A and B are shown apart, each in its own frame.
Chain A
């Protein structure tokens, strides 16, 4: 019987020799202005996609990369083979002794096989295989010319790009980030005929929108960057980044300042310009009276300017703007931008002065008119819940009365800035503005800091103050539980209420600040849990959401998923405790003793019937191995009472920190290892399934004791043990 054909790529050297040296491929997708993120992502996807597709198509290639500007995504492949590698198709036929007679002549079997495979009988090859000698038909299908293959591959590549938001235009049905207006596809000096989104590829591209409006013809792939540079387009975003930094530093240097090169703004600016030039502009010194955050936000977020500071980090009344173009009319551009910024800052000062006419305190009542989340009441409702939750957290964590006063006050004022003009205008400054106004109202510094930190963690920023950390936690606890109680859950990529971010935030702050609290207790204190079975369902979703996040965090630390799952299965109500058990178990997993504990647990739990428990009756202990095990068990139980205390967040007097917890759990695991020998001996010398039921039950109770000691630390049945298990029993 012929086997399924196997294929492999032939040597490409022959193909190369036949059709010439490898050349360069350029594939440019010309678009209307892409969102900066789409320009970055699109280029990355284009290069990744090309690598996969070329390999699958058996087209040899050197460096594969993609560049982008606001108006183009361009794939550049160096040294691309002009032909696909040949495809060699091999089919195994009958055994050689069947295919050829004793005289060496082909039999009808060989003839039939050769005919079916479309090769002459003389071309059949005899090959030795582990099953004996067989006949093979080998057919070499010559690779096609790359240029012909690319005609379908390039449109396919373009069509596979995906964007978070895509659109249609004209009467077309293709979706892309922004309309596709031209395509360039050049293989060396030759065009590749292809079409995407109703546009035919050619060698015609476009230079800078203003500086070079006429189309440009690219003579060959190798001339791509140079030709565009002559048309005022720098295609490599990293080169533009360097140009922007240089130009911005130079421009700020004119006034002895230096630009604050915010990395996000820089990334964005790189994809807003094809031919960068920078200029320094000024604003009136009096605006420096505005909070620094307001000035920087207006400049960076709203006007896309780099703020400028002096050598000691004080803001200067100036900004660096980046222009998409050359120096022509630069004075006009500067003047226009200065004029716009002045109007913006004048607005800012107006809002600031208006806001300052009332204390933050006096704005809290206005929160009744501000919706929190659809279906979830107002910000006034939320504020009331936060104040109550602040009190609950204080009790759960046994905080001092002064901490309580600060936290409750911070909770009371936390949302008040949402009804200020400044935050309505600059919503990204929520919290920051509240902190500034709180300070101006002479609230305690800790209250102001907490208001500022309530929306953290964000990026690399964490709440630095303890009151800030507590406020950040209760804010997110309330958001997550309120949403879950209202039946809102994140699904797939949809998380419009930021619930996953809230869950991650809770986990991150609890772990980082080693705050030991019962999540269930916290949830019950929010007062948003519905009564009865619904409440239980919400609570289960709440546990699940946090467990999922802490699992991700621990796996991210490098702990294997099965160890994480084992630790979390033993309890995840106090995340600091759960994480410490996972970390201790992971350390312990690397030692030889792990296998013995695992084996003891595994053997004991396997034989136990479901729900086996009961008192160990010493008078029924007869065998020496039983007695030894009981002795070891009692010895370990002594220590185990201390572990239980470790795990209970409500009983810790001087609560051990995470590092100390890990150390103690490590010690506990070492201690548990002392049970391994007695367990082994027990199984060797004692028959658990004694015919006498009382004896049998007592032996179960003994083993249940062993399992019961390990289980509060980790459910070892979740641990994946491969080769280690065999080694352990030897």
Chain B
């Protein structure tokens, strides 16, 4: 099974189970959770089912394309189901079956793993899913987002696409994965990995990044004052990624680190508050739709 077969299989599987198939967010993010279709829509009582691939950038994890298991940018397949369905574990396990993984021939574990994101003020309870000793997914019941207790609990499934592909294809090296018939992951991504790592560790202009952080922070605040949730949130995402770059560049001291994260968190909380207010003013539209349909 090629890397793209994996993605296609998951897209079909979750589309058939009523998920909106969304597209990757077109900004730099560190995880699928940061996509507004997860972070914002997780809030409030409205039901929401969505699935998408999210290329996720972790500048500090870059290894110039040299390390067989580490990437500047990896790919997550992200599923959000709100409220969490009662049979969600079974539905998840059947998705593995749909990828051609016959569970009777493997060992499957749900290992306790709680999750928290400091910059988003988000946290949840759940597991890492292990298949024959390999972590293939994160399975999380969100409890909080933007510092707000959630009234309707979303479950988040995050498939580590490279990990699963390595497992299925039995490749020790990510860059040897077959992405599509006849072309490898390395042939598509290795040069980008090298360049991004070089940028993040050596070339990034610290002064420009600091200015960028400050400018985006100011802009986010201004947009929040103007009541524009998503544009404001996008500037928070830019702050977050800029922080990650500064961190990778080794430009963030210990005291500053906590303070930059707190500044992101404060803005994320304001976005969450404002989003909820806006949805309430709109009368929770998706809630009504579902009631009408029922």
Contact = CB atoms under 8 A, between A and B. Distances in A.
Contacts of A165: 114, 125
B133 A179 contact: no
Interface stretch (A138-146, A183-191, A320-328, A557-565): A320-328
Contact of A336 (B69, B111, B134): B134
Contacts of A339: 132, 134, 170, 172
Contact of A170 (B107, B112, B153, B255): B153
B39 interface: no
A210 B107 CA distance: 9
A333 B68 CA distance: 22
A229 B258 CA distance: 52
| Most chain A CB atoms below 10 A, which of B102, B132, B153, B253 | B132
A328 B84 contact: no
B105 interface: yes
A377 B83 CA distance: 43
B106 A332 contact: yes
Contact of A333 (B69, B112, B132): B132
A333 B153 contact: no
Interface string B149-180: 00111010000000000010010100000000
Interface stretch (A366-374, A507-515, A533-541, A722-730): A366-374
B277 to A, nearest CB: 21
B91 interface: no
Given A171-B83, A181-B86, A374-B258, A333 B109 contact: no
Contact of B69 (A36, A329, A347, A369): A347
Nearest to A198: B86
B127 interface: yes
Contacts of B107: 321, 323-325, 333, 336-337
B103 interface: yes
| Most chain B CB atoms below 10 A, which of A70, A168, A325, A347 | A168
Contact of B104 (A169, A305, A328, A369): A328
Interface string A339-379: 11111001100100000000000000000011100100010
Nearest to B102: A329
A19 interface: no
Nearest to A329: B105
Contacts of A370: 254
B132 A337 contact: yes
A340 to B, nearest CB: 4
| Most chain A CB atoms below 10 A, which of B102, B107, B110, B258 | B107
Nearest to B257: A371
A350 B111 CA distance: 27
A179 B141 contact: yes
Contacts of A211: 104
B96 to A, nearest CB: 11
Interface string B120-153: 0000010100011110000001010000000111
Contacts of A332: 105-106, 132
Contacts of A350: 67
Interface residues of A, number: 46
Contacts of B254: 369-371, 378
Contacts of A328: 104-105
A50 B71 CA distance: 52
B118 interface: no
B82 to A, nearest CB: 9
Nearest to A370: B254
A534 B114 CA distance: 39
Interface in B27-83: 45, 67-69, 83
B89 interface: yes
B125 to A, nearest CB: 4
Given A70-B110, A329-B105, A329-B106, A169 B141 contact: yes
B125 A210 contact: no
B108 interface: yes
A336 B89 contact: no
A340 B106 contact: no
A340 B133 contact: yes
Nearest to B127: A33
A715 to B, nearest CB: 46
B185 to A, nearest CB: 16
Given A181-B86, A333-B132, A337-B133, A272 B109 contact: yes
A169 B93 CA distance: 19
Interface string A259-278: 00000000000001000000
B133 A35 contact: no
B152 A303 contact: no
A171 B69 contact: no
A615 interface: no
Interface in B223-266: 250, 253-255, 257-258
B267 to A, nearest CB: 21
Interface in A141-176: 165, 167-171
A365 to B, nearest CB: 13
A167 B131 CA distance: 25
A118 B41 CA distance: 63
Contacts of B108: 209-210, 324
A179 B89 CA distance: 11
Contacts of B253: 369
A210 B132 CA distance: 14
B83 A343 contact: no
B47 to A, nearest CB: 9
B133 A336 contact: yes
B143 to A, nearest CB: 6
A116 B249 CA distance: 86
Given A170-B83, A369-B253, A342 B172 contact: yes
A369 B103 CA distance: 45
A602 interface: no
Interface string A294-325: 00000000011100000000000000010111
A170 B103 contact: no
A32 interface: yes
A237 to B, nearest CB: 16
A111 B127 CA distance: 70
Interface string B188-216: 00000000000000000000000000000
B55 to A, nearest CB: 23
B112 A171 contact: no
A324 B108 CA distance: 7
A340 B258 contact: no
A178 B86 CA distance: 12
Given A170-B153, A342-B172, A370-B254, A272 B111 contact: yes
A171 B104 contact: no
A321 B134 CA distance: 13
Contacts of B83: 169-171
A324 B110 CA distance: 11
Contacts of A304: 111
Contacts of A329: 102, 104-106
A35 B112 contact: yes
B89 A32 contact: yes
Nearest to B131: A336
Contacts of B152: 170-171
Contacts of B153: 167-171
Contacts of B86: 170, 179, 181
A343 B172 contact: yes
Given A336-B107, A339-B134, 15 more contacts: A32-B110, A36-B112, A167-B141, A167-B143, A168-B141, A169-B84, A171-B153, A178-B125, A179-B84, A321-B107, A324-B108, A329-B105, A339-B132, A339-B172, A346-B172
20 contacts: A33-B109, A33-B110, A33-B127, A165-B125, A168-B141, A168-B153, A169-B153, A170-B86, A170-B153, A171-B152, A179-B86, A272-B109, A303-B133, A325-B107, A339-B170, A341-B133, A343-B172, A347-B69, A350-B67, A371-B254
3 A-B pairs closest in CB distance: A336-B132, A329-B105, A33-B110
